[in-house]
Amino acid sequence: MRAAVYAHGFSDAWIERYEQSNFRQSDPIPRRVMRHGALLTWADARKAGANTPENEAYFKAMDEEGLVHGFGLPLFGPRSRDAYAGFDFGRPVDEISNESLGVVRSVPQAAHQRVCILLEAMCEAPALSERETLVLQWIARGKSLGSIAAILDLSRDTVKTYSKRIYTKLECSDRVGATVAALKLGLVTV
């Protein structure tokens, strides 16, 4: 699991410490929040499983930093691009208005969805010719090579050649793989 740490409002010393992977890995809260699947206070996360000595050292460091009233939110994204967000208002969660909690729940989820979209856009789609794109669109709609040939007024062999080029460019070996890849890359819609 990869980690990217974005923090605001925490002390510089805490952020510097948390960015150290050996310290961050002793934090069981993100895994417990993700397993829980909903908002979970850090206090409840502490009790949500057996703690190793490393976990206990982590919790002690949190206490020393004054991080006792926070909570975690699971952020779910497409293709298992899930994330965790932690917040601490410096007071218990039950003292925070429902309106504020609603914003804190929705804004990070929306931001995470946007990040996922941007990451997907970074995946470069192979360049297909106009004719290859047409053939791919009909493949994705379930048409046979013979049907595609008739629709596009081409020979079956020509459509077969285009389909082989498409499979090579999409790094797949059949029409199902081509359709899945094309949908994932946004090359076609069905």
- Both tokens assigned to 102: 């609603």
Lookup result for tokens 């309106």: 99
Q: Under a CB-based contact definition with an 8 Å cutoff, are residues 121 and 181 in contact?
A: no
What pLDDT is attached to residue 109?
Answer: 93
Give, in degrees to the nearest 5, the angle at Cα 90 between 87 and 94: 80
Kind and range of the H or E run holding 72: strand 71-75
What pLDDT is attached to residue 120?
Answer: 73
What pLDDT is attached to residue 129?
Answer: 94
What pLDDT is attached to residue 134?
Answer: 95
User: Number of C-alpha atoms within 13 angstroms, CB side, residue 190?
Assistant: 14
What pLDDT is attached to residue 9?
Answer: 83
Q: Under a CB-based contact definition with an 8 Å cutoff, are residues 181 and 139 in contact?
A: no
Domains of the chain (ranges; CATH) run: 12-122 (3.30.450.80), 130-185 (1.10.10.10)
Q: What is the pLDDT along the chain (190 residues), one digit of tens a residue?
A: 566 777 788 888 998 898 888 898 999 999 999 999 999 999 999 999 999 999 999 999 999 999 999 999 999 988 778 999 999 988 999 999 999 999 999 999 999 998 888 777 666 778 899 999 999 999 999 999 999 999 999 999 999 999 999 999 999 999 999 998 888 887 887 6
What pLDDT is attached to residue 69?
Answer: 93
Listed residue (104, 172, 106) closest to 136, CA to CA: 172
Alpha-carbon radius of gyration of the chain: 25
152 to each of 96, 167, 172, 187, how far by Cα in Å?
62, 19, 23, 19
What pLDDT is attached to residue 47?
Answer: 95
User: For 5, which DSSP code?
Assistant: -
Residue 130 burial by CB count (10 A; 0-12/13-18/19+): exposed, middle or buried?
exposed
